[in-house]
Structure 1
């Protein structure tokens, strides 16, 4: 037993001398295995401390500074690399390593990186480029090489992208430098979606445009500015090909938005009896007389006299379709009932439909409230409304088909001066603030009537004490100047 202990102590002593004896020489200093091991452990600790400091700085100081996620990630990465480099140099200097003596080693390592580690070196340089130039940042929604997803992390060698299916993909940084990258979140997150729609030949193109625009406006995730548009793309093999173009500010939700739009488009087309055709082919038979006997039920193959004539069937006279009620008329037909637009062509009506949309209000419903911000202009297509002031408890006017309201709040930049309530089932053509400019540019006569009517209504409201804050020197010329200032017309 004592002999075994003696042998064990001698082995430990020999190992101790082996680790303690200098075996490596760097510059003018000699180092043992134990010193090198301690140096490696200290360098690992430096990496760990640098990472901890950068995470604390990112989650503490940078968050309180109000910086966005991408900027925080970039600054934290530079802090981590800077602390690591400084700590590495301090450790080597403390260990007595002459840094000037590492020049030759660094040159040899550089040559090795250049020839043997080309991909690693290119990814390293690409990572530095991404961190400095920031063409993509953490949190951006990007598309590269048919990969669509959100950037979760950018490191020196690779970038982590989370796809729409929740799959994390590690992409080498060189892909973002050498390939075309679509950054949906760069500067402005707004992007336009293209929804193709095919309808049967013979469909009313204006009716199709109205249905597509109505579907877009009913989707709350579709932006009203820029407004949706409809393009007639082509005459397809089996259908007239349209395309609905809408703007969104949530690029990560593009696929769900497309799906909801398709559901709504199908519903709007079905309401208007617009058919979506199946792919079809026309078959023309030249020798029809020779082919018909082959399908005769009695099996005769050639004698035309053997074919029994079909019984005569009574043909009912076509009945005239009952006139549609105004609420079921196409928007084009409702607009043509208004004197401003009765002479418009189909192309002009198509532009008009793109400016606004119709909205049905039941009887005794408030359209807009007094003292609320005004952001819409209303044209009465059918029905009538009552205008009154709750503040002075006084009736102001009744407007009928062909008249308009809501222009005062938009043009004068004030809150609604009165409350508007429907007297019966009423259809209104609603035009948002951003689309009113284009409408007045193309219909100068309507602009003049709006200016004239605005002056008259302003005078009436001043006499009632509702617009007492405006002076008596607001003539028609000033209203026209207001139109020029706001809309450039």
Structure 2
């Protein structure tokens, strides 16, 4: 072939043959560009241009009368034929898999199965082309390929092991794309499974590519199967003097108050150990959003701290050295007096408590408690029973209510110096709204038992309280009407002071 081609270069016909071949190349390129508007053609752009070059070269050699049975011509013919078949396969693959199965039937063919079928077809086509073009016997090719395969198999045993493991994973289906799994000490969402490896996206947003051979040897934990519901655990230690049932109830309440924790199955709390310096508890709760498990766990532990603080449940420090000391009664009394004085200063500024004398106000301050609530924590809920009154000392809260349809509306935001819950304190009325902390919030809490000591000693203040309460209800009704862009409610729509006075006396049994 090379001798014939070299002799052709010395003749004038070479230039004409080259021009004809270039003309064919340009013509085929124009046809390709016209057809390239279709995506089915564009997906094989590189193969199509390579085929155009080979066809033009083959045409040039034919014009140059290169013997068709020469090795070079046969090799060129085999390559062009293989490319053409490959282009047709890509076209059929696009039309059948992408357009028909995926787009119309919504059937997603697994990537691994898809690639294995393509590779098997290409190997079969390659054997047929070689046997036809080079007139080779297929049995000889198979024997030769078996020897070559043995050599390649020894050299690429790890790669082949990954392929076999990939097939096993595809058949066994321990996970699918989108599942959250733990494998090879990596936790993440499955992004893709190929013939060689599996790609997962970790909680940190990193892509980790794990060979299928490694996965087949590891324990696989699927957090998304058989359903996304998944159990999590937290452990807390408390002081020995804390009643276990109170601790368990408080921990369960903290879990149920946290967004993302399922109401069913209910959280379970166990006393697991009497430790050196604490009674240790373990709580099991359920979530269905595994990517947020760390955030949900953080919120639960945060809520536990605030609830423990309000319930007087102490979390002990680890004990290493014990230093005994005694606080004198004078120091204890000084601390109590300072606490009462600070609470008293807050209560003096509350409008609804104006009828109380200085001594009555002091008695109320002695029984009041300082509570702290976490960001997002509900302080009171609409419709629940209550008999306590709240005065905000720092932070902000949101007041909201829902109607019969469940539609929720934000009524107000309250800050330092504001108060709420007076109707529940004085009449025992159910909460008319939900109050939620918008940030860490501290407040003074006065409950019925505390207030009863004052009002039973001086029942006459009930009259003044009913008047102030009536005025507050009128103001709140006007604010609600303005919020709803309606006419303000008439005074007759608000409960009268006589009715309020009767309810106060009944509630405190005056």
TM-score between the two structures when normalised by the length of structure 1:
0.51
Q: 1:95 to 1:314 in 2, by over 3 A?
A: closer
Q: Does 1:85 align with 2:128?
A: no
Shift of 1:154: 0.9
Indicate the structure with greater helix content.
2
Secondary structure class of the residue paired with 1:269: helix
Residues 329-387 of structure 1, C-alpha deviations (whole Å, 9 max, x = no match): xxxxxxxxxxxxxxxxxxxxxxxxxxxx9984359xxx999999xxxxxxxxxxxxxxx
* Matching residue of 2:165: 126
* Matching residue of 1:399: none
Contact kept in structure 2, 1:126 and 1:173, CA below 8 Å: yes
Shift of 1:317: 8.1
Q: 1:181 to 1:159 in 2, by over 3 A?
A: same
Q: 1:327 to 1:424 in 2, by over 3 A?
A: farther
1:179 paired residue among 212, 218, 234: 218
Contact kept in structure 2, 1:200 and 1:240, CA below 8 Å: yes
1:154 paired residue among 188, 193, 208: 193
* Matching residue of 1:218: 257
Contact kept in structure 1, 2:82 and 2:129, CA below 8 Å: no
Q: Distance in 2 between the 1:264 and 1:157 partners?
A: 46
Shift of 1:249: 1.8
Contact kept in structure 2, 1:113 and 1:121, CA below 8 Å: no
Q: 1:57 to 1:130 in 2, by over 3 A?
A: farther
Q: Does 1:54 align with 2:54?
A: no
- The more displaced of 197-206 and 164-173 is 197-206
Q: Distance in 2 between the 1:317 and 1:424 partners?
A: 34
* Matching residue of 1:38: 80
Contact kept in structure 1, 2:188 and 2:203, CA below 8 Å: yes
Q: Distance in 1 between the 2:246 and 2:269 partners?
A: 12
Contact kept in structure 1, 2:112 and 2:166, CA below 8 Å: no
1:198 paired residue among 232, 237, 241: 237
Aligned positions of 1:238-253 closer than 5 A: 238-253=277-292
Q: 1:142 to 1:51 in 2, by over 3 A?
A: farther
Contact kept in structure 2, 1:196 and 1:242, CA below 8 Å: yes
Q: 1:91 to 1:313 in 2, by over 3 A?
A: closer
Residues 427-452 of structure 1, C-alpha deviations (whole Å, 9 max, x = no match): 9xxxxxxxxxxxxxxxxxxxxxxxxx
Q: 1:82 to 1:240 in 2, by over 3 A?
A: same
Aligned residues: 307
* Matching residue of 1:136: 175
Q: 1:283 to 1:274 in 2, by over 3 A?
A: closer
Contact kept in structure 1, 2:97 and 2:109, CA below 8 Å: no
Residues 116-158 of structure 1, C-alpha deviations (whole Å, 9 max, x = no match): 1111111011011111111121111100121000111111111
Unaligned stretches of 5+ residues in structure 2 = 1-8, 19-56, 341-362, 370-380, 388-400, 407-426, 432-510
TM-score between the two structures when normalised by the length of structure 2:
0.49
Unaligned stretches of 5+ residues in structure 1 = 25-30, 66-71, 286-311, 329-356, 373-422, 428-489
1:166 paired residue among 191, 205, 210: 205
Q: 1:314 to 1:197 in 2, by over 3 A?
A: closer
Q: Distance in 1 between the 2:189 and 2:145 partners?
A: 37
Q: Distance in 1 between the 2:233 and 2:109 partners?
A: 33
Secondary structure class of the residue paired with 2:298: helix
Shift of 1:83: 4.9
Q: Distance in 2 between the 1:361 and 1:224 partners?
A: 21
Q: 1:152 to 1:315 in 2, by over 3 A?
A: closer
Q: Distance in 2 between the 1:314 and 1:128 partners?
A: 79
Contact kept in structure 2, 1:142 and 1:182, CA below 8 Å: yes
Q: Distance in 2 between the 1:327 and 1:105 partners?
A: 94
